[in-house]
Amino acid sequence: MAQKFSKETYLYWYELMLLLRRFEEKTGQLYGMQKIRGFCHLYIGQEAIAAGCMTATNPDDKFITAYRDHALAIAKGVTAKSCMAELYGKATGCSKGKGGSMHFFGLKENFFGGHGLVGAQIGTGAGLAFAEKYNDTTNAVLCFFGDGAARQGMLHETFNMAMLWKLPVVFICENNNYAMGTSVARTSNVLDIYKLADAYDMPGDVVDGMSPEDVHNAVLRAVNRAREKGGPTLLEIKTYRYKGHSMSDPQKYRDKEEVEEYKQRDPIDHVLKVLKDQYNVEDALIEEINERVKAEVEESVKFAEESPWPNEDELLKDVYVQEDYPFIMD
């Protein structure tokens, strides 16, 4: 029997996903105004994954992802203000203005990036899980990557080691159909990415990434397995990004009809419909949430605009743990 989620859960999902959507929309707008520069990858359309993962995990569980990282950082608790400031390259950013769009970080929030190298976070995610196993905690690590990264050698080496050592990690492939502009079918003999787990006797499953309910249930099963020393799981969460791979993507590899088809399954619209049809939530409450989200995004922009640039003496800091490392001494 399908689990019935509470009104409070749906309200949480709605507000979180709306915040992620509005933040990313504002980011795209500011990028067009050249307030934000460099590479920039938006999460619009994929918000149900962040929502379902949050309700299925605990604050002490660790998240690590690739360069499409804004939404997962905010979901994990990194403030919208510090995220926007990071996009601006300001000193008050979550990575002190040094990381930019692709390298968000939040130590106290247990958000470990933001990684620009395709697939690099997969090995690091297993390393985080090894630390949890070594310290004998019950925490789990959620390691996110895209369908393109599933073709990296790092993934296979890591899967083997994670299963061998039964590491408490959930590998989450956010399959949005395209690695930049290249479909899975053009680069992989195995079209069902979750089946890659079979080679390592790792549990694997495919999940509807447009449904926060399905994401929650699948992630919860995998996280519980990890907590109970059962080792890793591979989840292929099928989703879709409404925008291009990055802000410079002309999107010639897909047509508008395909995008519109996925928008008919929009997770925010779905959750709003459940709130109204099943829980009789009044329009006044929805409008209150909408205004709260709007204000939070506007405040993040104001904060970023007014924040200072990093000082020049910050350039060589945070490179080595040892502060007087000889290579950076004058």
Residue 264 lies in a domain: yes
Cα–Cα distance measured from residue 273 to residue 276, given in angstroms and rounded to the nearest whole number: 5
The CATH number for 197's domain is 3.40.50.970
The pTM of the full predicted model, rounded to 2 decimals, is: 0.94
**C-beta of residue 132 within 8 angstroms of C-beta of residue 43:** no
Q: Which two tokens stand for residue 24?
A: 């990313």
Q: What's the pLDDT tens digit per position in 277-321?
A: 999 999 999 999 999 999 999 999 999 999 999 999 888 888 888
Residue 314 lies in a domain: no
Q: Which residue has the tokens 């399959």?
A: 175
Residue 147 lies in a domain: yes
Q: How many domains does the chain have?
A: 1
Look at residue 330 in the predicted model and tell me its pLDDT. 57
For the chain, how many residues are written? 330
Residue 22 lies in a domain: yes
Q: Which two tokens stand for residue 84?
A: 């926007």
Q: What's the pLDDT tens digit per position in 111-162?
A: 998 899 999 999 999 999 999 999 999 999 999 999 989 999 999 999 999 9
Q: Note down the domain range covering 142.
A: 7-307
How far, in whole angstroms, is CA 227 from its chain's centroid?
21
Residue 124 lies in a domain: yes
Query: Given 3-state DSSP classes, what are the helix, strand and coil percentages for the chain, each rounded to the nearest 5?
Result: 50, 10, 40
- pLDDT tens for the chain, residues 1 to 330: 356 899 999 999 999 999 999 999 999 999 999 999 999 999 999 999 999 999 999 999 999 999 999 999 999 999 999 999 999 999 999 999 999 999 999 999 999 988 999 999 999 999 999 999 999 999 999 999 999 899 999 999 999 999 999 999 999 999 988 878 888 888 888 889 999 999 999 999 999 999 999 999 999 999 999 999 999 999 999 998 888 788 887 788 878 888 888 889 999 999 999 999 999 999 999 999 999 999 999 999 999 999 999 999 888 888 888 878 887 665
Residue 23 lies in a domain: yes
DSSP label at residue 166: T
